[in-house]
Structure 1
Amino acid sequence: MRSHYCGDINTSHVGEEVTLVGWVNRRRDLGGVIFLDLRDREGLLQVVYDPDLEDVFATASKLRNEFCVQVKGLVRNRPQSQVNAGMRTGEVEVLGKDLTIVNAAAPLPLNMDDHQTNSEEARLKYRYLDLRRPEMNQRLIFRSKVTAAVRRFMDTQGFLDIETPMLTRATPEGARDYLVPSRTHSDKFFALPQSPQLFKQLLMMSGFDRYYQIVKCFRDEDLRADRQPEFTQIDIETSFMSADQVMAKTEELVVSLFDELLDVQLGKFPKMSYADAMRRFGSDKPDLRNPLELVDVADLVKDVEFKVFAGPANDAKGRVAVICVPGGASLSRKQIDGYGKYVEVYGARGLAWMKINDASAGFDGVQSPIAKFLSPEVVVELLARVNAKDGDIIFFGADKANVVTDALGALRLKLGEDLGLTEDSWKPLWVVDFPMFEEVDGQFHALHHPFTAPRDMTPEELAADPANAISNAYDMVLNGCELGGGSVRIHDQAMQAQVFKLLGISDEEAQEKFGFLLEALRYGTPPHAGLAFGLDRMIMLMTGASSIRDVMAFPKTTTAACPLTDAPGFANPEQLQELGIELLKKASQDSEEV
């Protein structure tokens, strides 16, 4: 039905007869001449209809936005005065010779122009219309280009694209599984995979030493702007490669993607330890475009009479830290109080501050409600430590270490955004040397996953000091967003059994859930390591979208629902009976307890 895409027509086609199909983006009737902006996936093209062809002109007069049409006509140069330099096809137009309405469009439930104000619910309900908008259209085309580039790169590096099962069993990945009842195995369930983790490890045991897969994963968890119940990973696993080698290879992949598709040179990625990232930036995925840093000052205030500072400063689990904000002294009291409210969300009980009017005057040059609690010597040392300048403001955090780190880390990002301190650039890095475990209420939990190997430890050494064990793991971070995470995996059965034990997984439970893995580890398992990128998150960053929903064809809402298909829906009672499933009605929240 077409000879060319609209967006591909240029001056080289002048004088040619072309056949185009697409949608009416806009129709303009200028009193005797009708102009159409015809749109397809490759862009817009202006079509002109003169009244000389009466039947064709009459058909053009009937068109409305989003009519699906076929156009036949002659490509010609636009008059010089009408050239549109901001349009890919702005130097040419098509003189329409024929016009067929392939399908008319009813009045639209969405605003389709460049300044659409549609609700998120409406955009998802009429997603097939929303995806016609050039902005959304180009994001999905860009996504396709990224996956094609990934496949080309992985193929040239000797990686094999191998599919892993969608129906598996539950694994302890840190989120709820989507369960699938089995008809042929009464009372049993499959789980949709949260990742292909165990299967890709098994592939390494099978001798496929370089594997990758662009794969769907599923997690039944609370959603945010960068989370969806189903998402896509670029999954990579290797044998006989060290952590440094895996990082180098995957860094090369990402550098090539940005170079090829965005003409952006990321350069070499610096490495930063988890401990440094948390101490300096309050986050394990620091945004290095923001120049603000957290600075510890507990040693300066441990002897002051102000217990709000002295208490945490003398507590092994406490922390006192500050952020010095250039030019922040211009903030109003209302703005400062607003930041105080902001950090309360992260457990902070307040936000002390100090404005620097004259740094050279020391104590006499500062303005702060807490200055009276600090000696002149402490103030002078504080100003020197943070290199405070005239017109700066210092914000203080004093509490349990995790509260101060979380609160000031979040405040740092908000200040950077609000005050325009965050650079418009790309700042990648590797975060390494993560703790192996985090302890919650006396129970260890894997910081990454239970198949991550510790760095330079035997099973006996790990058992003796698990709290201080460092994992052989690494996260790729870009502009404050975790692009991907990976690790060296455990390839020794004794080490894997020891990790299960430390995580409170009994021998019986380990055998029941992971017996196949423990068995496989007995038969010459090679050392292996890998990494998985969040494809949706990467595309979101590369296209400047604010949510991964805007780079997915058919995403869910924040409640994991699909307005387009009205999913999830009720199951057929006959199917439930066949599966041996009986639904229990949840008690009303308003009902009284009995």
Structure 2
Amino acid sequence: MSDMYRNKTMDQIGEGDVGAELKIAGWVENIRDHGGVSFIDLRDMYGVMQVVLKDTGLLKGIRKEECISVEGLIQHRDEETYNPKIPTGTIELEAHSIKMLGKVYRDLPFEVTSSKDIREDVRLKYRYLDLRNQKVKENILFRSKVIRYLREKMTELGFVEIQTPILCASSPEGARDYIVPSRKYKGKFYALPQAPQQYKQLLMVSGFDKYFQIAPCFRDEDARADRSPGEFYQLDFEMSFATQEDVFRVGEEVLTGAFKEFAPEGYEITEAPYPVISYKQAMLEFGTDKPDLRNPLRILDVTEFFQGCTFKPFHKKTVRAIKVHAKLSKGFHEKLLKFAQSIGMGGLGYLEVKEDMSYKGPIDKFIPDEKKTELAELAGLAADDVIFFVADNEERAAKYAGQIRNELGERLELIEKKAYRFCYVNDFPMFELDEETKKVGFTHNPFSMPQGGLEALNTKDPLDILAYQYDIVCNGVELSSGAVRNHDMDVMVKAFEIAGYDEETLKNKFGALYSAFQFGAPPHAGMAPGVDRMIMLLRNEENIREVIAFPMSGTAQDLMCGAPGEVTEQQLREVHIKVRQ
């Protein structure tokens, strides 16, 4: 290290340096003037050191957050001033000279040490100051360690890191593209990749057996707490001659390994093999395809049972039930009903099970006596249980029951603490019906292999065909999606035909894959766990922007650099674009 500015960083200085003349450099975190003697807390990337100034003239003109270099003597602090919170808490540097390296020319927009309490738009505008905050900085350093671990782990498993293009062709499936106008080809556009999907499949056709990259992906989507607008990173990998189970094993090894390495102390992590839940089962038992397994409550289907009862609102409806073992007050029921109405439900039926196994509740009188035992057996009811009922069309009944399950889990404090619970959700439907157009389209990834292959596509109702498609879910957050890819030309042409694309469109829109698959494509499969979401979970952050160095705001703006911004008329002309007013 050149000692022009410093000859040791804060983490390299300890008791062994007492009596040594040292030079340190960093930012002024705090200034304390005690009359005849003053103190500066000086911070660099690695820690904080107390600087004592017996010559108070040295302090003249120094402001918080200025960048300075200090030369002086390392000495023990007075014992009553020890600070056990920092590694250098027993020593200090007595300053002999101070050199100004970077002045502060105007008032700070906020105190760096408490920046996490400031409004997000202000933090993002001055993100370079926000990143000086210890907690914010630690998230970014932590992210670096996780990514390094993932790289090492994938390499150890025999995967080769290959970068795929950032400028590519626009693709009709998935989210909205970011498009980039071409200067050279008038009226034509590149797109930023929503994922390296086609390229990684082409790498398999090229004979690279196992590929991975920490891939940047770009989607013009609105922000959510767990979704960054604009861009995100994923651990993208693909394997040749691989089945769904082969991909599962790699996903488990990498994610369990990473979570064991980086989870906060005392956390439990799902061991491999992860539970595998079909999409159908997930929608029934959890009311969502992102099940949170920390919540022990499960949803029951009681549709058939209620067709034999006299309660009219449940007739010809899908009826779901959730049982809890708890004595609930009238106030609890009122609050839960209020929540149910706030998410769009008309009401929330329930029954309480009394000591003698009789029922009490608004719908008790509609259940014939001879059917009461049947309900107890169906739902495994015991004394002091409460069972809640949700009735609607199938889709809404599932969604509402899922939300009620989550709410009950939270309110009754049933959700397991200090745990990361993983599962796979598989067997997604290949096709779905568009409610507005009434046309059949792809549910998710159009390049997935349909279960049953060509025969299923030719003989089954498209809405009954499942795909070899799967997600990894952790604590109710979708971490990854993946699939066994469709590498068979005939199957691909037929699948796209069902979704309303003729062979010509397939050739035009996915020309490279269409062509490559005619030259001996191997079976292949893969997935792509989201790096930002992984780190967000490991850091217990509520918002994904806390784990990204320079995130866009929730409104998809870079408030610091002013993007999106206007460009000059000259720039527009070069790419043949005219802005419509």
Q: TM-score, normalised by structure 2?
A: 0.92
- Contact residue 27 and residue 37 of structure 1 kept, 8 A: yes
Of 303-312 and 540-549, more deviation after overlay is shown by: 303-312
- Contact residue 7 and residue 40 of structure 1 kept, 8 A: no
- Contact residue 38 and residue 46 of structure 1 kept, 8 A: yes
Q: For residues 30 and 503 of structure 1, do their structure 2 counterparts lie closer, same or farther at Cα, with a shift above 3 Å needed? A: same
- Contact residue 71 and residue 98 of structure 2 kept, 8 A: yes
- Cα deviations by residue, 1:82-141 (Å, 9 ceiling, x for unpaired): 333333333433333332232232221124234743111111111111111111100000
SS of the residue aligned with 2:164?
coil
Q: Distance in 2 between matches of 1:320 and 1:177?
A: 40
Q: For residues 170 and 96 of structure 1, do their structure 2 counterparts lie closer, same or farther at Cα, with a shift above 3 Å needed? A: same
- Contact residue 488 and residue 529 of structure 1 kept, 8 A: yes
- Aligned equivalent of 1:590: none
Q: Distance in 1 between matches of 2:412 and 2:101?
A: 52
Q: Distance in 2 between matches of 1:241 and 1:90?
A: 55
Match for residue 421 of structure 2 among 423, 427, 446 = 427
Tell me if 1:398 matches 2:391.
yes
- Aligned equivalent of 1:88: 87
- Contact residue 113 and residue 134 of structure 2 kept, 8 A: no
SS of the residue aligned with 2:328?
helix
Tell me if 1:371 matches 2:375.
no
- Contact residue 362 and residue 376 of structure 1 kept, 8 A: no
- Contact residue 215 and residue 236 of structure 2 kept, 8 A: yes
SS of the residue aligned with 1:329?
coil
- Aligned equivalent of 2:75: 76
Tell me if 1:290 matches 2:295.
yes
- Aligned equivalent of 2:244: 243
SS of the residue aligned with 1:518?
helix
- Within 5 Å, give how 1:126-205 maps onto structure 2: 126-205=126-205
Q: Distance in 2 between matches of 1:155 and 1:136?
A: 29
Please report how far the alpha carbon of residue 529 of structure 1 lies from its aligned counterpart in structure 2 after TM superposition. 0.9
- Aligned equivalent of 2:224: 224
Of 334-343 and 504-513, more deviation after overlay is shown by: 334-343
Alpha-carbon RMSD across the aligned residues, in angstroms, is: 2.1
- Contact residue 353 and residue 396 of structure 1 kept, 8 A: yes
- Within 5 Å, give how 1:468-483 maps onto structure 2: 468-483=464-479
Q: For residues 18 and 432 of structure 1, do their structure 2 counterparts lie closer, same or farther at Cα, with a shift above 3 Å needed? A: farther
Paired amino acid for 2:510? F
- Contact residue 359 and residue 383 of structure 1 kept, 8 A: no
Q: Distance in 2 between matches of 1:48 and 1:360?
A: 76
- Contact residue 212 and residue 236 of structure 2 kept, 8 A: yes
Q: Distance in 2 between matches of 1:6 and 1:388?
A: 62
Paired amino acid for 2:488? D
Please report how far the alpha carbon of residue 389 of structure 1 lies from its aligned counterpart in structure 2 after TM superposition. 5.1
Q: Distance in 2 between matches of 1:307 and 1:38?
A: 72
Tell me if 1:416 matches 2:421.
no
- Within 5 Å, give how 1:443-592 maps onto structure 2: 443-455=439-451, 457-465=452-460, 466-585=462-581
Q: For residues 510 and 303 of structure 1, do their structure 2 counterparts lie closer, same or farther at Cα, with a shift above 3 Å needed? A: same
Paired amino acid for 2:412? L
Please report how far the alpha carbon of residue 507 of structure 1 lies from its aligned counterpart in structure 2 after TM superposition. 1.8
Q: Distance in 2 between matches of 1:58 and 1:389?
A: 78
- Cα deviations by residue, 1:59-102 (Å, 9 ceiling, x for unpaired): 32543321212122333344443333333333433333332232
Q: Distance in 2 between matches of 1:141 and 1:328?
A: 47
Paired amino acid for 2:479? L
Q: For residues 411 and 3 of structure 1, do their structure 2 counterparts lie closer, same or farther at Cα, with a shift above 3 Å needed? A: farther
- Contact residue 295 and residue 406 of structure 2 kept, 8 A: yes
Q: For residues 4 and 362 of structure 1, do their structure 2 counterparts lie closer, same or farther at Cα, with a shift above 3 Å needed? A: farther
Q: For residues 330 and 154 of structure 1, do their structure 2 counterparts lie closer, same or farther at Cα, with a shift above 3 Å needed? A: same
Q: Distance in 2 between matches of 1:203 and 1:499?
A: 22
- Contact residue 473 and residue 486 of structure 1 kept, 8 A: yes
Please report how far the alpha carbon of residue 202 of structure 1 lies from its aligned counterpart in structure 2 after TM superposition. 0.5
Q: Distance in 1 between matches of 2:192 and 2:464?
A: 34
Q: Distance in 1 between matches of 2:370 and 2:343?
A: 29
Paired amino acid for 1:459? L
Q: Distance in 2 between matches of 1:101 and 1:393?
A: 69
Q: Distance in 1 between matches of 2:382 and 2:57?
A: 72
Q: Distance in 2 between matches of 1:419 and 1:501?
A: 50
Please report how far the alpha carbon of residue 215 of structure 1 lies from its aligned counterpart in structure 2 after TM superposition. 1.6
Match for residue 278 of structure 1 among 283, 294, 298 = 283
Q: Distance in 2 between matches of 1:524 and 1:487?
A: 20
Please report how far the alpha carbon of residue 359 of structure 1 lies from its aligned counterpart in structure 2 after TM superposition. 4.1
Q: Distance in 2 between matches of 1:191 and 1:526?
A: 28
Paired amino acid for 1:498? K
Please report how far the alpha carbon of residue 17 of structure 1 lies from its aligned counterpart in structure 2 after TM superposition. 3.3
- Contact residue 67 and residue 104 of structure 1 kept, 8 A: yes
Q: For residues 249 and 255 of structure 1, do their structure 2 counterparts lie closer, same or farther at Cα, with a shift above 3 Å needed? A: same
- Aligned equivalent of 1:304: 309
Paired amino acid for 2:181? P
Q: Distance in 2 between matches of 1:7 and 1:379?
A: 70
- Cα deviations by residue, 1:476-524 (Å, 9 ceiling, x for unpaired): 1111111111111111111111111111112221111112211110111
Paired amino acid for 1:59? L
SS of the residue aligned with 2:552?
coil
Match for residue 440 of structure 1 among 434, 441, 446 = 434
Please report how far the alpha carbon of residue 384 of structure 1 lies from its aligned counterpart in structure 2 after TM superposition. 4.6
Q: For residues 300 and 153 of structure 1, do their structure 2 counterparts lie closer, same or farther at Cα, with a shift above 3 Å needed? A: same
- Cα deviations by residue, 1:242-286 (Å, 9 ceiling, x for unpaired): 221111112111122223333666322222222221111111111
Q: Distance in 1 between matches of 2:115 and 2:413?
A: 25
- Contact residue 291 and residue 421 of structure 1 kept, 8 A: yes
Unaligned runs of at least 5 residues, structure 1: 313-318, 586-594
Q: For residues 100 and 159 of structure 1, do their structure 2 counterparts lie closer, same or farther at Cα, with a shift above 3 Å needed? A: same
- Aligned equivalent of 1:588: none
- Aligned equivalent of 1:589: none
- Contact residue 111 and residue 117 of structure 1 kept, 8 A: no
Q: Distance in 2 between matches of 1:450 and 1:321?
A: 32
- Cα deviations by residue, 1:379-436 (Å, 9 ceiling, x for unpaired): 4443454444555433211011110111111222233223322111111112222222
Unaligned runs of at least 5 residues, structure 2: none
Please report how far the alpha carbon of residue 353 of structure 1 lies from its aligned counterpart in structure 2 after TM superposition. 2.8
- Contact residue 463 and residue 502 of structure 1 kept, 8 A: no
Q: Distance in 2 between matches of 1:474 and 1:584?
A: 42
Q: For residues 334 and 97 of structure 1, do their structure 2 counterparts lie closer, same or farther at Cα, with a shift above 3 Å needed? A: farther
Q: For residues 174 and 93 of structure 1, do their structure 2 counterparts lie closer, same or farther at Cα, with a shift above 3 Å needed? A: same
Q: For residues 508 and 85 of structure 1, do their structure 2 counterparts lie closer, same or farther at Cα, with a shift above 3 Å needed? A: same
Q: For residues 258 and 340 of structure 1, do their structure 2 counterparts lie closer, same or farther at Cα, with a shift above 3 Å needed? A: closer
Q: Distance in 1 between matches of 2:22 and 2:408?
A: 55
Q: Distance in 2 between matches of 1:97 and 1:478?
A: 54
